[in-house]
Structure formats: structure tokens, C-alpha cells
Structure 1
Amino acid sequence: MDSFVEFDYVIIGGGSAGALLANRLSADPSRSVLLVEAGGPDDYPWIHIPVGYLYCIDNPRTDWRFRTEAEAGLNGRSLLYPRGKVLGGCSSINGMLYMRGQARDYDGWAALAGEPDWSWAGVLPDFKRHENHHRLRGRRAPEPVSRSVPSQPMDPTQRLPSIDEDVGTWHGGDGEWRVEKQRLRWDILDAFAQAAQQAGVPATDDFNRGSNEGVGYFEVNQKNGWRWNASKAFLRPILKHRRNLTLWTRTHASRLVLEPGGAGALRCKGAWLVRGGDRVQVRARREVILSAGAIGTPQLLQLSGIGPGGLLQRHGIGVLRDAPGVGSNLQDHLQVRAVFKVDNVKTLNTMAGSLWGKALIGLEYAWRRTGPMSMAPSQLCAITRSDPGRPHPNIQFHVQPLSLPAFGQPLHRFAAITASVCNLNPTSRGTVAIRSADPGAAPLIAPNYLSTDEDRKVAADSLRVARRIVAQPAMARYGPTEYLPGAEHQGDDALAQVAGDIATTIFHPVGTARMGRADDPGAVVDPQLRVIGVAGLRVVDASVMPRITSGNTNSPTLMVAEKAARWILAER
């Protein structure tokens, strides 16, 4: 059955970006907003327990369960490629780590797009607008020492300003996005942090002031030991009383409704959806906004006739706009997992090695909301250079007091830590492409990991940095022994080869509908995220990032949505 409904704004994708957009655009009661999510509501209990990501990833209830193609750089391996298929999107299944990236990331975006508002000075207010940071919560934010937005990041070696100084320059306290300290610590992680300092990495307790070089515990998106996702932050507080906001879950977008718009251009009038077995055409009086993510957005554009002409023709789809950039420029952070056995110290391997140990872990969380069940997937962060000649920090460690053969498998039976390290600025580029004209078919995802000499060199050097840190005096008391990749692997070629065997995605795909100047042949959207050559259509998610940020990508995606919401509302 076909039916027809109309709204002012139609947002496709109820993840991090879509949830924030729905909140901001529906604040005006005179405008109607439809938010469409392919997955169900975020009522699965494991979503909200931090360690529950183990039960949400590769679960059809919460994950699209994509896989990559076999990757030459990974020695022929194919990887699980999780993407949130539930209200809240990836914020409902991710690592909950709050990381903005580096100031130079955004200054680079501004230069590429020709839009100063994407610079560090331009994005910092958007980060702060929705932030609810623990340093400011419950207290009036102090006036910053300088009333102008800082154009340069703070030196991470300097002392962090106290709550009574200028922390308000860098953080917000009145927004919806909770940022808290973790509710645990580990002796072995404290020792790793000390060892990193002995190896030349400065200590920091704030990775989000523009320069994130340093070592310290991650801040997390949690509230009192529970996961804090985009649904809790931006949707639950408003759904009951904003009658102009409509939410449809378990609703799939199959293609966009595109019509001639004059002067050879197109206009997006709406989208075809499948809801409860019925086909529904929704029309947008103002705009259709794609927030389906770095995989879903290019897939929907290609299914609708916007994409590389040859690809569309091969699948029998009429080419409405030949846009080679749709689905290209895929970037991701690939983590290389180094594992070290340790002695005479508590790790999760030993704590959870028995039924009694697991019971104690469960009781601690039930009673205090602390302990291993409150853990993010990674607890300690270290950001440094893969070699001293690098002009800026370019690798990030996610350090965990545990080890396992692969994600989803049981923990090792020996005490160990994992020091996963990723190249923050990979030069490899991949693609996302439809396999057929069937909207239900998973797209072809080819990240093309470790396909450049530079990325292979950084992978090899990163393992050397891990070895150098673990060899420092602070770790000596625990007798660390390299388990993966193994001390027998030496030299650039050998280390790059073994990196392909032990590396896995850290779940940060971006860039597949990148922004750029209107005359840039690879750009999909203009600097204000409007699809080039198509009126009434905008992309607001991680796919618009021209280059991946130097850190975890969820909070930068929220910043993109915050900025886009201001632009959309200003155009009314």
C-alpha cells in the first residue's frame, strides 16, 4: 500500500546527528519535523550498561552487521563493521569516549571548504553549546579570561585551568551531552601512564582543548555509571510535549523523491519509506536531511540516482546526477592491537576468570555503578607521535586492562593488557558502493586499509612506540612480556605485515559525502552541507568530513549537527 504525508523537515537517520537535529529544528512549534530511524527504540537493556556494547555489536537488534570486503592490507581478512541500527545510532553501541580531535583538523576543513566557520575557532562554540561537562555541572560557568574564542589550542604540557579560572573557555556546562570522569582506575593503567611519561608523552587531564597530545584517562559519555546516548540526551526530554516532532522507528528509506528543479538542477521533494510493510512517500516542504551515516548516506544517494555514473548504470539505476564523490573518500581509524602479558597485578582477565569473579563484578555494578561493568571499551588514552620527526601528534593508544584473541571471544586465561594504537591521519582511502538496486542489500565496503607506504610505516612505528613505553621503569615491576605481535617481528616490512594480521577497525568511518567548494569535482556537499546540484537536500553526519578527525568521531559528528541546525534555522 502507498500513502502520502508531509512535513517541513524530514530527517533520515535517528543516530547522533539526527537526534540532535530533531531537537533543534522542532524547537520552533510552527515547523513540523519527522525523524526516521531504521532500527527500533533504544529499550534493549544492554544498550544502557556500559559494558553492554559487547552484546550490542553484531546483534541484529542494534547493529547493521556490515562486513568489509577482503582487504589486501589486512592480508586478505574481512572485518566486522558495526553501525548502529537503533535509536541513538552508534551512540547506543559505541565506546562512549569524548574526544573532539585537534584544532588543526578543523582549520584544515576550513581551508578545504573555503568556509571559516569550520575552523577551530568556529567549531568550538558548537561543541560547547550541547556539552554538559563535569567540571561545570551544577555551577555557573565562569567567564573566560579572554572573551574571544581561542584560535590556538592550549599547550597540553601547561597546567589545566581550575574550575574557577577559564575552563569555561574550553567547555560547556548547560547542554545535553553528558561528559563525565570514569568510575574506575587500574594499577596497571596508572603504571602504563607513568611509563608513557617516562617515554616523553606529557600527562594531561583534558584531551579537548585543541591539542590532544598527552596521556590520561578518557572522559566518557555516561551519567552515573549508565551509557548516555543521543536518544537520552536530545529526544527523550522532548518527545512527549513537542507535538510537532514525529518519530518513526523500524522505518527504512528506500530512495529519495527527486524532481527537476529548473536550470538543469534537481530538487528533493521527499523520500520513499517502508514502514510496517507499507510504502509511504513523505514530502518535505523545506528540506530532506540525510543523517544515515558514512555508510547509509552514500548508499541512499546512489540508490536514488546520485553517485558515480558508471556504478549506477551497472545496476540499472538512472543517473540523475553523476557525482563521483558519493561513496569515495572513505577514511577510518585502524587499530593495531599489541598485547603484553603481565604479572603481580590485577587485570580483567584474572578478575573475570571465574564465576565468583564475575558475580562480584555484577554485584559491584548493581550496588555502586562502578567497576568493570561501568567500563568503556578503552580506559586510558595516550596521543603522541609515531616518530620524533612528525610535526604533530599522529597516533592514539586505547589501553585496556584485558586481552582476548578477537572481539567477542573469551578473555585470555593469563593476566595481560592491550595497547591498541591507531594512525589518526591515515592516507589510505576506500569506497562505499551499492551491490544492486535492492535497498535491502548491504553495500560493498572497502576501506583499503594500509594501502599506502606512509600508513604501513606508521603502523610499524606505532608498534615500536608501544614497545618503548612498556620497556620503561614504571612497568618493570609487572614484568611485561610481548604476546602480540611477538618480539620476533622486527623491521618495517615485518611489522607492517604482522599489523595486517592483528589490526581491526575502531569504528570511525567518515568522509563518503565530503564537503568542499562548489567547483571541487569530488565534493558532494557545499560548505553548508547542501548537496551540490540538488535543492532541498542536505547531508548532516560523519560522511561530510573531508578528513577524519584526530580522535574518536562521535562528538565531532554532534558538532557538525549543531552547526548545521543553526544554518538551517537561519535560512527559514
Structure 2
Amino acid sequence: MRASEQRVALSLWLLLLLATCSGGVAAQQSNGVGVALIEAARAALLSEAAALSNSSDWPASYEPGQLSESYDYIVVGGGSAGSIVASRLSEQRNVSVLLLEAGAQPPLESDIYALSGSLHHDERYMWLDEAQPNGNCCLARRAGSGCNWWHARMLGGGGSLNGNIYVPGSAANFRRWRWQLQLKGWDWPQVQVAYRRLQQQLQLNFLPLQPLEAQLAKLIYAAARELQLPRPRQPLLMGSDFGYTHDVPATVQQGRRRSSARQYLAQPQVRARSNLRVLLAAQAQRLLFKRQRAAGVQYTLGNRTLRALAKRELVLSAGALNSAKLLLLSGIGPAAELRALGIQPLRDLPVGRNLHDHGMLPLFLRFGNDCGLNASSSRSAYAPASVAEYLLQQQRGPLAAGFSMMGFINSSAPHSRDGQPDLHIVAHTFMPRGSAGSFEYLGLRPELVTAQRAALAQAPMLQLMGSLLLPKSRSKLQLRSADPQQPPLISSAYAADPADRATLLRFIRYVQLMLTTPAFQRCGLQLWLPPLPACDALTPDSDDYWLCHIRHMFLGAWHAVGSCRMATRNDPRGVVDERLRVFGVQGLRVVDASIMPEITAGNTNAPAMMIAEQGARMIREDYNRAAAAATLAETTEQPNDIPLYD
């Protein structure tokens, strides 16, 4: 069932349930007891459905007329990072905070964990940015499309619609940030402090295993044992390690999503704060400056153009694409490129130059026999009984179910613990016989969608997604024009680096090795290859064939990071310093995944939230330190009469 069809199906089933509980029932002969019971069930369903979608749970969105002209802090972007920054800063009762979010409140489908996929192609809740087509990557996507760089557009950001997988990266990631890249304050023990604060607020849970997925997990574990792969030495919550696990932490509780917006902004004590203002549907256009200091932001709300001023700091938490775009629109970026677009450069910095992503390469294994998986009798999440169970039994049942199983592997030596994993088997998805498959969702060409559905009509499949944990390739983000309404110009470079291609080749050979295990052979699993004429003309199973396959099928994983790279002052690749301050500009920080110098090992939502905890702490520390120094020196404020630069 397609994502849009799923949303319609759920709504229809809910309407049918409510309709069935009223109307014609009362017309039947009855002594009144049966009707009373049905009416009670109807009232309970209505009450629970209303409570689930209650928008008053979220912080109120203010109109411009209700807002002050200036605030101590302005946070641009209410996503996974920005929600945390705004909440933590507003804990200080003596400061005022404005949070600007371009999107809206998360809809009902965001709250119900199993429905999050229905939002992924919805322009109301997603920025559906795509790169320029090129001949080197994402060639299987539909005509005229490049690699997709989709990202969320709502309060809570990606945490309001993604898989909510919580992987904190590895100790090796942050040791490298600290000791090889010389970034003070970012070693593993230091970021662990931020992670502990985050975990306490998020109330982490583990995704439950349903009967069908339990059988699938047993199959994967059996193959891993037969290949003598190492087992994880620690829970994933303590950092990614070698081996497979299905104990995957997630920000989900009783089938309901627990995004950073939900946990940091929608709590009663936060909603009650008079010093925090949230403005939705407010799209930032450019930053305002007084000389070399950030002074505020210009934004649109409907057909109005407005501005807000920041007395202390302006914080960009708009994500790896929009934070970089906003800096470029404001004159912070490669000077020659900005001048060519008619934008006056303020600071010449390599904004957009370190954009990267884990990427994902799907491989498909066709079952010779379904090993009992395809015959599962588990009830559909969209059946009426599932909806009723979810609403009336504390969010239980298929609508509350989730499954994720992950493998972290050194592709050069799968049996070894030497070095660190370079390959993330990020998804193990069972596709039942007769299902629609994944190609339409991924935006692939119609003939590939048709081919996959034809194959699934004959037999079920297992989809394995391989991601690069240590990608070397770097993409680039620029502006199309000086018009803020234009999407960014993205040049994708997925697997452009030979080292990345070599790792993906090893991923393919690793999956082929799994096919030789007795566990996989008992299920008759064999590779299913999509029809790719340019590749099919090459020698089957040769490296040349698979390199062609990679150019077509290695796609974006929606883990964009790095476009506003954190670096030391003597590193020409840097946009922000280790305190997340933009080089050469006072009162301006970037606090989101865009500051990552190198992507972390695993899903990026948890590191983005950790960065927000770190950034909010740094902002408070730096202000208090500066205030103490100013008091000691008995300095006076400079006059605030310098004209705005915009």
C-alpha cells in the first residue's frame, strides 16, 4: 500500500468505526443495553482520537502583532536541534527567546509512529530538494531527477517524521574530532555528558519485535553466526560497535513519537514560559547585520515581510541545507560566487563545501521459499481493529509496532574487530509477496517500479540497505540566485571517491557471502537484480557491472551533514569554530548537523540533538563569562545606532 493510500485508509477506517458505532445500530431491535455499550465505545474512540490530535499540546504559535520587536536570542529553525536550543535558552527566566519555524505543527500522522512514512513526499511537511542530475550517481531515479536531499519542514524537523532511531555514533568518531581535528570540547567523554542530558529528556525506548520481524531477526542472526561475525560488546545506546543487534533505541513511547519538539517544547512547564515565543510558517529570508555583528533576521509570514532583532545572539538551527542556504543569502560564503549573484560578501567562508551523507545502496534477495515469513497472520496496521486497539489500549497493536535491525561491519575483514566499522547494514526489510515494493517511494524510474512489483508478485523479498559509515565523497551546496524562494543548487557526489566505491563493492560481496550460509540457503535466497540496460551489457557479477550498479542505485539516505563545517581557526575548510561561532561574525552561531566535520557512525538524529545540547550550554557559558568579564572591567555598552546591513 502506498503512503498516501495508507493515510486515506486510516482516516476511512476511523470514520467507519465511528459511523458503525452510531446511526443504524439504534434502529435495530434492542432493549437499550447493546446500544448503550456501542455508544460508550463510540464516545471512547472519539475522546481518544481527539486527545491524540490535540494541538493544544504544542506551544502556541504567536502572530507578529503579539511579538516584541527584539529578543535576547533568536533561533531560526524548530527542528531536532532548534527545538532543544530554544527550550534550553528559555530556561533562563531573565532572557527572551524567539523561535522561527518555516513549517507547521506536526500532523496526526507524525504522532502515530507507524504512519510516519506517509509524510515523506508531502510538500507541506517536507522540503523535497533534489540535486542537479549528473551522469555519475543516482542514475536510476526518474527522468530529470538528481539525487534526493529531502528534509523535514515542521516543528521537530526530521525527528517528527523519520525512523526516530537513536544511534549516538561511536567513541572513535569523537576521538577523531578531538585529537585529529583538534576540536576542543568534542571528545567522547565530553559529548557523553550532553547525551546523558538528552536521554533523560527523551525517555528512550527500544523498538518492539513483532512475531513476523522476530522470525526475520532470527534468520539474520543465524547467518551472522555462520559467518562468525563478532557480536556487539555493548548496547547500541552506548555507541555503535561491531555486529548485529535488534535492540535499537528509538525516541518512541507506546507507539507515539517522542521528537525533540515534543519532549523539549510541548511539555506543560515549557508551554507556560512567558519568555519563549514560537512563530510557525515563518520562513527566514536573510540575516541582518550591524557591521560584523548579527543583528537579526528578515522573514516572511504569508505575504508579509517582517524582521526580528537579536540583542545577544542569533542561532541558525535550520539543518544542513537551510542553514547553509541562509548564510549564503546573507553574504557569508564563497565571495566570488556571491558576487556573481549580486550578493555583497560579508565573510568569505567555504559554506556548503563539506556537504555529505551516508548514502544507501539497496540490494534485494528473493526467497525461494518464504520460510514462514510471507504466511504471517499478523493483522494489518490499517484494519479497523488495529485502529481501535491503538486508540483504546494505550497505543498498542500494529499501529504502535516498529522493527529495526542493524549491522556494523568492517567490510575489509568481517570477522575482525580491528579498526572501526565502515559499513552499516541499516535496514532489513521484508517485502511480502504481492506488496508494492520500495522503488516508487525512492523515486525510481517507472520501468523499475514495474519490474520490482512483477518480481514481488511471484515471491517475497528481503531488502538490505548498505550505508557508508566513513564516506570520503563530498557534495556541494550553492545558491541558484539571490531569491530566497528558490531551492538551493546541489551538486551530488555520491561514491565519487574511489574509497567509497571500494567499500560498496565489499558490501555487495559481503551480501553474496551471506547467501552461501545454510540459514539463507534454507530459504532459497538469491539476488534479484533490477533491469539496468547500461549495466546488463557488462560482464555479469564483474566489478565493472557492480560499479555501474552503484552509479544507478546508490541513493541519498537523508542524513545530510557538514555544510557549515566546524574547524580550528587555522583550518581553511571551517565555517564555525569549536564553540559553533561563525568565523569573523559576532553574535552568530550554527547549531545543527551542518557543523559536523565528519559524519557519525549511524543515524544522525541523535548526534544532531546532542549538538543542540552542547550548543545551548556553550551559548549560556559564553554569555555568562563575557558578562562577568565586563563587570570586572566596568565597561559600558557601545551606542546601538549603527545602521542595519541587509
Q: TM-score, normalised by structure 1?
A: 0.85
The answer for the alignment partner of 1:52 in structure 2 is: 115
1:235 and 2:274 aligned: no
Q: Within the alignment, does 1:400 sit opposite 2:429 as a pair?
A: yes
Q: Please give the alpha-carbon distance, in whole angstroms, between the structure 1 residues aligned to 2:227 and 2:94.
A: 58
Mean CA deviation greater in 562-571 or 288-297? 562-571
Q: How many Å separate the matches in 2 of 1:357 and 1:86?
A: 25
Could you tell me whether the CA contact under 8 Å between 2:75 and 2:97 is conserved in 1? yes
Aligned to 1:144: none
1:297 aligned residue: 323
The reply on whether 1:284 has 2:329 as its aligned counterpart is no
Query: In the superposition, relative to structure 1, how do residues 251 and 223 fare at CA in structure 2: closer, same or farther (>3 Å)?
Result: same
Show CA shifts across 1:503-548 (max 9, x none): 2211101000011111211100010000000000000000000000
Instruction: Tell me which moved more, 397-406 or 444-453.
Output: 397-406
Deviation, 1:315, is 1.0
**How far apart are the structure 2 equivalents of 1:36 and 1:177?**
26
| Residue 362 of structure 1: how far off its partner (Å) | 5.4
The aligned residue for residue 297 of structure 2 is: 271
Contact 2:207 2:401 (8 Å CA) reproduced = no
Alignment of 1:354-373 (within 5 A): 365=390, 369=395, 373=399
Q: Is the 8 A contact 1:531 1:539 kept in 2?
A: yes
* Letter in structure 1 aligned against 2:225: Q
Matching residue's letter, 1:479 = G
Tell me the distance in 1 between the aligned counterparts of 2:273 and 2:381.
48
Once the two structures are TM-superposed, the CA of residue 5 in structure 1 deviates from its matched residue by: 1.1
Does residue 1:22 correspond to 2:86, yes or no?
A: yes
Instruction: Tell me the residue number matched to 2:599.
Output: 548
2:288 maps to amino acid:
V
Sort the Cα spacing of 1:551 and 1:241 in 2 relative to 1 into closer, same or farther, 3 A: same
One-letter code of the match for 1:97?
I
Match of 1:87 among 155, 168, 175: 155
> Which residue of 102, 107, 111 maps to 2:170?
102
Say if 2:138 and 2:147, in contact at 8 Å, map to a contact too. no
Shift of 1:106: 0.7
Measure, in 2, the Cα distance between the counterparts of 1:49 and 1:125: 30
- Partner Cα separation in structure 2 for residue 12 and residue 251 of structure 1: 9
How far is 1:122 from its partner?
1.1
Residue in 2 that maps onto 1:327: 352
Given candidates 508, 515, 519, the residue that maps to 1:463 is 508
SS of 2:357's partner is coil
SS for the counterpart of 1:200 is coil
| Structure with a larger share of its residues in helix | 2
The 5 Å alignment of 1:127-526 reads 127-131=195-199, 174-184=200-210, 185-204=213-232, 206-217=235-246, 218-237=248-267, 238-260=269-291, 266-323=292-349, 325-342=350-367, 343-347=369-373, 365=390, 369=395, 373-376=399-402, 379-388=404-413, 391-397=419-425, 398-402=427-431, 403-407=437-441, 412-413=456-457, 414-484=459-529, 489-526=540-577
| Aligned equivalent of 1:143 | none
The answer to whether residue 191 in structure 2 is matched with residue 114 in structure 1 is: no
8 Å CA contact retained: 1:207, 1:214: no
Partners in 1 of 2:172 and 2:517 — Cα distance?
Answer: 31
Give the whole-Å Cα distance in 2 for the aligned partners of 1:340 and 1:511.
Answer: 34
Larger Rg: 2
SS at match of 2:126: coil
| Structure 2: distance between partners of 1:287 and 1:75 | 40
SS in 1 for 2:288: strand
Deviations 1:63-84 (CA, angstroms, capped at 9, x unpaired): 0111122143326452332201
- Deviation, structure 1 residue 258: 1.4
Q: Deviations over 1:379-430 (max 9, x none)?
A: 1101111121872211011211224334267973331111111111111001
SS at match of 1:202: coil
Q: Which whole-Å CA distance do the structure 2 matches of 1:489 and 1:361 have between them?
A: 46
1:350–1:415 Cα contact (<8 Å) kept? no
Give the Cα separation in 2 of the matches to 1:356 and 1:525: 45
The one-letter code matched in structure 2 to 1:544 is I
Aligned equivalents of 2:567, 2:275: Cα separation in 1: 33
Structure 2 spans left out of the alignment, 5+ residues: 1-63, 432-436, 443-448, 624-646
Cα distance in structure 2, aligned partners of 1:130 and 1:357 = 33
Deviations 1:225-283 (A, max 9, x none): 122212111100144211100000100100000121xxxxx110111011232222111
Paired residue total: 521
Q: Which residue of 2 aligns with 1:147?
A: none
- How far residue 447 of structure 1 moved from its aligned partner, in angstroms, is 2.6
Tell me whether 1:530 sits opposite 2:581 in the alignment: yes
Map of 1:67 onto structure 2: 130
2:55: which partner in 1? none
Structure 1 residue identity aligned to 2:565:
R
Shifted more, 15-24 versus 201-210: the winner is 201-210
Letter in 2 for 1:460: L
Contact (CA 8 Å) 1:515, 1:545: kept in 2 or not? yes
Amino acid of the structure 1 residue aligned with 2:260: A
Note closer, same or farther for the CA distance 1:349–1:386 as it changes in structure 2 (3 Å cut). Answer: farther
Q: Which segment is superposed worse, 197-206 or 548-557?
A: 197-206
Is residue 2:618 matched to residue 1:571? no
Question: Alpha-carbon deviations, 1:283-320, whole Å to 9, x = none?
Answer: 11110000011000110000000001121112111111
Larger strand percent: 1
C-alpha distance in 2 between matches for 1:375 and 1:193: 21
Cα RMSD for the two superposed structures: 2.6
Structure 1 pair 446–493 and aligned structure 2 pair: CA distance change class (3 A): same
C-alpha distance after superposition, 1:428-460 (max 9, x if no partner): 001111101111110012231111111111111
The aligned amino acid for 2:147 is L
Instruction: Give the fraction of aligned pairs with identical amino acids, expressed as a percent.
Output: 29
Pair 1:526–1:228, CA change in 2 (3 A): same
Aligned partners of 2:112 and 2:257 also within 8 Å: yes
Which letter does structure 2 place at the counterpart of 1:431? K
Offset at residue 219 of structure 1 (A): 2.1
What one-letter code is carried by the residue in structure 2 that aligns with 1:253? A
Q: Relative to 1, partners in 2 of residues 1:496 and 1:51: Cα closer, same or farther, differing over 3 Å?
A: farther
Aligned with 2:127: secondary structure?
Answer: coil
CA–CA distance in 1 between the matches of 2:589 and 2:471?
27
